[in-house]
Amino acid sequence: MPAAPINTQAQVWMCHPNPYVRLIERDATASAALAQAAQGSDGSFRLLPLPTAANNADDYTQIDPALPLARDDAALADPLPHTSYAGMNPAQRRRFANWLAAPEMAAPVAFRRLYLAWLEIALFEEERRAGATAELFSLLAARGWRGESSLAQSALLAAWLAQDGALIAQAISQARLSPAALGAAAGWLAQLGEPLSAACALALAQGWNLRTSALENFDAQNDAGLLQLRISSLTSTLGAEPLAWALAHSYPSPKGTDETTDGKTDAQDARPGAVWLPWHTIHRSLRLLLPQFDLRAALEPRLAELFAGLPVAAAQPPPKAVAAGAADGTATPPSEWTLILEFGNSRSQHYEYVTHLARKQTGYQLLMDETRQLIHRIRFRKRNLRQFWRLWAYVESWSSTHVYVNGEEVQKWNVFPYSADLR
């Protein structure tokens, strides 16, 4: 028979060993902590006003010690992912309290989200900031938190607020960041003057889904040293560290400045090229604007150049993989009809869109020719020529465009539907 709820366990929370527990009346609300931090801000963040209807005096994540706890955390259904502490039943509350003594262990999503929200608030409290940052990065390595995408976002926020380039690099290489978050992180690394490491280059290339043979067969243990040498060579070629070069060539805000709620602009903020954008947090009351830099457009081709420049032998898939590809139908048999479309860089206004479409094709490869120019190659079979014609409408007039059918080049004026050269 389930244990009866009891009402006299406030001491469980008042004396809890976890230093990030937040109690009603004892701890500041998220809005109050954020407002206090903003007064002494170093310019690393700005406030996004709460909706008019929001109540700044309340914090849905805080613990009410008066709510009943069961005597034990007997097995029962997990709370729904967005359940607050008040929305849990007494046994779930007891289970939550017990889990907080070892938060690196696996737990229901609702428990992890509440704990992340507490850690996010602690990032804005001077006495808890360093400990909360260390806790977030410790959880990145915890088996019980694998697959928790929100943790990576929170850890990256902690690294930026600490203005710690080494932590940002760690978040890039260890956390599973979204493509947009990777772009922001790369911009922050450049802003802080950190160099591009082999681990970060690999994580950025994989996160941005660059499709090159060398990347697909990259061995972090054996090839990292060679990649670092390639980064040094690229630095010499560019005349600047790659991240710094990309920051200098990144696109500024469309209007040149970015007005925000406090009336400041990028030009006044000494962060050229930054666009102040909302940052997603777990805690709903932490509404932030962070400076973000569009480095992807400038940096992605340089990353492709790094991996395309690795030795050809390292870029070839192992024989077993080739044999397996032929067996499962993913490899193209030599006798099957194929069309290859190649194009290089272009000043066309459609270039970014075309490369986006090209990367989505299953036969896409990014190569480098003998003059160190990047070449986009897409292999098509007859059954998916519709995608070829979609790309051809944009690249037909580009000087770098070439078409090959079964290994033989076809002149561009002979490329049209029902052409005899395409049979």
Domains, the chain, ordered by start = 339-423 (3.30.70)
At residue 314, the pLDDT reads: 40
At residue 11, the pLDDT reads: 82
Residue 135 has pLDDT above 70, yes or no: yes
Confidence of residue 309 (pLDDT cuts 50, 70, 90): low
pLDDT tens digits, one per residue of 355-374:
888 888 888 888 777 677 78
At residue 310, the pLDDT reads: 66
pLDDT tens digits, one per residue of 247-263:
988 754 343 333 344 44
Residue 408's H or E segment, with its range, is strand 408-410
Please state, in angstroms and rounded to a whole number, the distance separating the CA atoms of residues 390 and 354.
9
pLDDT tens digits, one per residue of 371-390:
777 888 999 988 888 889 98
Among 75-89, 161-175, 240-254, whose mean pLDDT is lowest? 240-254
Please state, in angstroms and rounded to a whole number, the distance separating the CA atoms of residues 58 and 19.
21
Among 49-53, 56-60, 307-311, whose mean pLDDT is lowest? 49-53
pTM of the model: 0.70
Tokens of 35: 């407002």
Q: Is the dihedral of CA 64, 65, 68, 73 positive or negative?
A: positive
Please state, in angstroms and rounded to a whole number, the distance separating the CA atoms of residues 146 and 140.
8
Strands, DSSP E only, in 259-373? Answer: 275-279, 288-292, 339-343, 364-368
Confidence of residue 75 (pLDDT cuts 50, 70, 90): low
pLDDT tens digits, one per residue of 115-133:
999 999 999 999 999 999 9
Among 66-80, 230-244, 341-355, 378-392, whose mean pLDDT is lowest? 66-80
Q: What is the mean pLDDT of the chain?
A: 82
At residue 7, the pLDDT reads: 43
At residue 12, the pLDDT reads: 86
Tokens of 310: 């690795």
pLDDT tens digits, one per residue of 31-48:
899 999 988 878 889 998
Strands, DSSP E only, in 38-162? Answer: 46-47
At residue 330, the pLDDT reads: 46
Percent of the chain with pLDDT over 70: 83
Residue 325 has pLDDT above 50, yes or no: no
Residue 305 has pLDDT above 60, yes or no: yes
| Phi, psi values for residue 169, rounded to 5° | -60, -40
At residue 306, the pLDDT reads: 83
pLDDT tens digits, one per residue of 215-245:
777 777 777 888 888 899 889 888 999 999 9
Percent of the chain with pLDDT over 90: 41
Other C-beta atoms lying within 10 Å of the C-beta of residue 104: 14
Contacts 24+ apart (CB under 8 A), 348-352: 348/394, 348/398, 350/394, 352/297
Mean pLDDT of 192-213: 88
Please, is 372 exposed, middle or buried when counting C-beta atoms within 10 Å of its C-beta (0-12, 13-18, 19+)? exposed
